[in-house]
Amino acid sequence: MAIVLVRIDDRLIHGQITTAWIADVGATRIVICSDEVANDPLQRTIVNITAPPRMPTEILTTEQTVQVAKSGVWDRERVFVLCKYPSDVLPLVRAGLDIKEINVGNVGGMTQHKGGPGKQIFKSIAVTEEDVQIFRELLQAGVKLEVRVVPRDHRVDLATLLEKV
């Protein structure tokens, strides 16, 4: 099965992930795909502390994520890929991973955005110009971008929100 959900959430593993999203998609493995997190010992420690017990959790760079996904190692798993920033997702799509839809949960709204303050376009999403460019490239690549904080929320089309930017 491999990748069952790709989500952008700058809070990474938190209550909504552990109590709602994992069960909703039946994930058997979490992959944190972020160059920043993979190279920061403090963030790696926080992820390891917050990871659900008995849930295999890996922290990989974007390049490592592409390599492992293409290797077939995850073919018998249901992998939940969790990215910190939109810029973490784009390399996966450019590398040809089979990603048709991305869930956007929290971007720049709850934490300091790496690109500085962003423009609030939804209650949990504040985007920079770089984010907007990345989202538009993903849309042009045929990837559907939906906004939901938790699975039971009504789906909001991110493309519609970007029209206002």
pTM: 0.93
55: its two tokens: 């849930």
Q: How many CA atoms lie within 13 A of 70 on its CB side?
A: 11
155: its two tokens: 């789906």
pLDDT for 11? 93
Read off the pLDDT of each residue in 59-71 and give the average, rounded to a whole number.
Answer: 97
Per-residue pLDDT tens over the stretch 101-159: 999 999 986 555 565 678 889 988 999 999 999 999 999 999 999 999 999 999 999 99
C-alpha to C-alpha distance for 97 and 87, rounded to whole angstroms: 15
Sign, CA torsion 58/87/6/106: positive
pLDDT for 164? 82
pLDDT for 43? 96
- Ramachandran bin of 38, using left for φ above 0, alpha for ψ from -120 to 50, beta for the remaining angles: alpha
Q: How many CA atoms lie within 13 A of 128 on its CB side?
A: 12
Tokens 């008995």: give the residue.
Answer: 54
Per-residue pLDDT tens over the stretch 3-60: 999 999 999 999 999 999 999 999 999 999 999 999 999 999 999 999 999 999 999 9
pLDDT for 130? 93
Catalytic residue numbers, as ranges: 14
Q: What angle do CA 21, 27, 29 make, to 5 degrees?
A: 120
